[in-house]
Amino acid sequence: MEPSDAQTLAGARETRPTWPAPLPASDDTRPLYDRIQDVIALYPERKSAVVPALRLAQDEYGWLSEQAFDAVADATGFTPAFCKSVASFYDMFRLTPTGRYEICVCTNVSCALVGAAGTMRAFERELGIHPGETSEDGLFTLKTVECYGGCGWGPVVSVNERYHEPLPAEQVPELVARLRADAEPDA
């Protein structure tokens, strides 16, 4: 709903926020180890940097491979096993290789009430995979996720951590086609 629509309703002032343009990707090209040292310096205790360090490593390697855990362990001073135990607790850490586009469909209550099942099924049809799977060409990983906090604007879907809300089933084919086209040049 556009803010202007909301204003026309007596007493109603729901004004959906406008989303900011994404910030440009970091241009910090220093080694992962050095960037993790900067993060460690932010905290009174070094262990607090483990989660941010895992995120940096995931961005660097695409997923948290053995190599990624070793890098985080070396840079933070903890063991790879400890880093793994932390990473496995949190949903956003990828412990297996993921497609170029990670598509997450929220299926929690509010989204489910307004069509999340249809959106999820539409992705299954378009991509030929089920939640938890990656397409053979390595382009897409499909996941269902728990509440994304977009409940009034559902069904909510994220593509590589960027929200699309709402994304009803009928808009899924167009989105998938656009993602495929974007991937084409260096596919």
Nearer to other proteins by Cβ, of 30 and 162: the residue is 162
Q: Minimum distance from CB of 88 to other proteins (Å)?
A: 8
Nearer to other proteins by Cβ, of 9 and 181: the residue is 9
- Residue 15's closest CA among 33, 30, 2, 25? 2
Q: Minimum distance from CB of 137 to other proteins (Å)?
A: 24
Q: Minimum distance from CB of 151 to other proteins (Å)?
A: 4
Chain-centre distance of CA 150, in angstroms? 14
Rounded to whole angstroms, the Cα distance separating 54 from 72 reads 6
- Residues interacting with other proteins, by CB under 8 A? 1, 3, 6-7, 9, 11-20, 22-23, 42-52, 54-55, 85-86, 89-93, 107-110, 112-118, 120-121, 146-154, 158, 161-163
Q: Minimum distance from CB of 100 to other proteins (Å)?
A: 18
Is 138:180 a contact under the CB 8 Å cutoff? no
Query: What is residue 5's three-state secondary structure?
Result: helix
Rounded to whole angstroms, the Cα distance separating 41 from 64 reads 23
- Residue 75's closest CA among 49, 45, 94, 95? 49
Nearer to other proteins by Cβ, of 77 and 181: the residue is 77
Nearer to other proteins by Cβ, of 10 and 137: the residue is 10
